Amino acid sequence: MPEQPGKVGDGIAEGTEAARQADAACDGHTRDQIPVTLEKVLSRENMWRAYQRVVSNGGAPGVDGMTVEALKPFLQLRWQAIRKELLDGSYRPSPVRKVEIPKPDGGVRTLGIPTVVDRLIQQALYQALQGWYDPTFSDSSFGFRLGRGAHDALQRAREHVAAGYRWVVDMDLEKFFDRVNHDVLMSRLARRIEDKRTLRLIRRYLQAGMMQDGLVSARTEGTPQGGPLSPLLSNILLDELDKELERRGHRFVRYADDCNIYVRSRRGGERVLASIERFLQDRLRLKVNRDKSAVDQPWNRKFLGYTFTTHYQPKLKVAVQSVMRFKSRLRELFRIGRGRSLARLIEELRPKLLGWVSYFRKSEVRVVFEELDQWIRRKLRAVLWRQWKRPWTRARELERRGLAHDRAWLSAMCGRGPWWNAGASHMNQAVPNRTLSQLGLPSLIQELWRLAKST
């Protein structure tokens, strides 16, 4: 049976003493209550939309090994029993599967992959709540929101810099998704969500264990990335930071846990950083990573992979770190591709190149795309040079591709390495840009111009 009104479930409705203290510390503003019940979350229409989204997103299996393809027949057999458990409060989410992926700046990012059934339920919760919460979020918040994205955040940031706010408080929250305080988050949710069963279910998802190497460890904090609900929960918690920054009159841009506050002087920025650090610690139990945070001018910092020029009217450009990281990823492909045909290697490269230029298409400094084009073509020629291995093979291939006999042999006997030869005139003549284009290699600069014309 559904829980009776006022009855407490799993400690969420009553909260802990820490949650009550954290809630009491808020500024007292009230918001409209959300008329979402567990029955609405589990309605046929909402669940069908959630199912379609989970299937279209695909993704890896959770701890039970079930794939999205196996979800439909499983639900046909078990959904009514699962729904009953959800409504009577006896449902227990499965542990999430721990996955660690390397971060670009070192360290690892922890992902928690829920089972497909739990992804379905989380998606249903997200759909039921997102429409109520999103309109109340700050206009300066851009991450994980419908109709908003990284490019919108970058445009807003450029407007602040162009308006004369040429110092930025670049604030990094230390392991944000791993350190979210459950009591603080649940107290924020309880301000607007009246249905205790919905709150209890969210609490259980927060506390679901994490499995690695067959062992399950309990979770007392954090909301690991990987589930559909985590992005919304992070925005609900950090909305309090947004509202505090607005109350103080600051210009800022926040994308998920990346927050940049724009000020007019270094001294003012240092004061803002110290003050906001205290606010986050006292109110949200979050810690600022001082090693990665700084007060500096925007063109000395990286935001969402971009940076700015120093012009009075600043321009967006690709950050140096983003180029280096992209080259590092491509080098691994080139290394693996030494044993493959050039056509197959280019086929594997193509989606990565197109995806990269699509994200960085807002860059107004184009020279980096031309330089990358040259570097990629030279790397491909170096792969060919390595594949040909012996001098007589190199001579035969160069001659076959149009070089005179004497020049082909002279070039083949060169004792220099693959990178030098890949940039030499004999390889540029034997493997011209036109040949690489015919094999499907896109030009980043040409793709950039195409995208610019289409927008």
The whole-model pTM stands at 0.85
If one compares 7 and 145, the residue with the highest pLDDT of the two is: 145
For residue 215, what pLDDT is reported?
A: 72
Cβ–Cβ < 8 Å for 116, 61: yes
Reading the block at residue 381, the tokens are: 């020629």
Residues 6+ apart with CB under 8 A from 175: 289
For the residues 59-72, what does the mean pLDDT come to? 92
Q: Which of 160-174, 205-219, 275-289, 297-311 has the lowest mean pLDDT?
A: 205-219
Contacts for 318 with CB less than 8 Å, ≥ 6 apart? 305, 306, 307, 360, 363, 365, 368
Q: Cα angle vertex 311, ends 325, 304, to 5°?
A: 30
What is d(CA 190, CA 311) in angstroms, rounded to the nearest whole number? 47
Least confident of 191-195, 314-318, 334-338, 426-430: 334-338
CA 381/CA 374 separation, integer angstroms: 11
The predicted model gives 61-72 an average pLDDT of: 93
Distance (Å, whole) CA 18 – CA 229:
23
Say what the pLDDT of residue 235 is: 96
Residue 239's pLDDT band, with cuts at 50, 70 and 90, is very high
pLDDT at 33 over 50: yes
Closest to 227 measured CA to CA, from 116, 103, 78: 116
The closest of 94, 70, 60, 68 to 226, measured between CA atoms, is 60
Give me the pLDDT at residue 21, please: 43
Region 126-135: mean pLDDT is: 96
Cα–Cα distance for residue pair 121/50, rounded to 1 Å: 8
pLDDT attached to residue 31: 56
CA–CA–CA angle 83, 85, 91 (5° rounding): 115
What is the per-residue pLDDT for 106? 62
Question: C-alpha distances in angstroms, 324 versus 13, 356, 443?
Answer: 49, 13, 18
Phi-psi region of 70 (alpha: psi -120 to 50; beta: other; left: phi over 0): alpha
Of the pLDDT bands very low, low, confident and very high (cuts 50, 70, 90), residue 377 is very high
CA dist., res. 351 & res. 11, Å (int): 48
65 dihedral zone (left: phi>0; alpha: psi -120 to 50; beta): left
Residue 112: pLDDT band (50, 70, 90) is confident
Q: What percent of the chain has pLDDT over 90?
A: 79
Beta strand ranges found along 63-200 (DSSP E): 96-102, 108-113, 167-172
Q: What average pLDDT does this structure show over 366-373?
A: 96
CB contact set of 371 (below 8 Å; sequence gap of 6+): none
Spell out a b/e string for 15-45, using b for 16 or more CB atoms within 10 Å of the CB, else e: beeebeebbeeeeeeeeeebebbbeebbeee
CA-CA distances (angstroms) from residue 71 to 74, 88, 118, 209, 226?
5, 23, 11, 22, 18
Is the CB of residue 366 less than 8 Å from the CB of residue 316? no
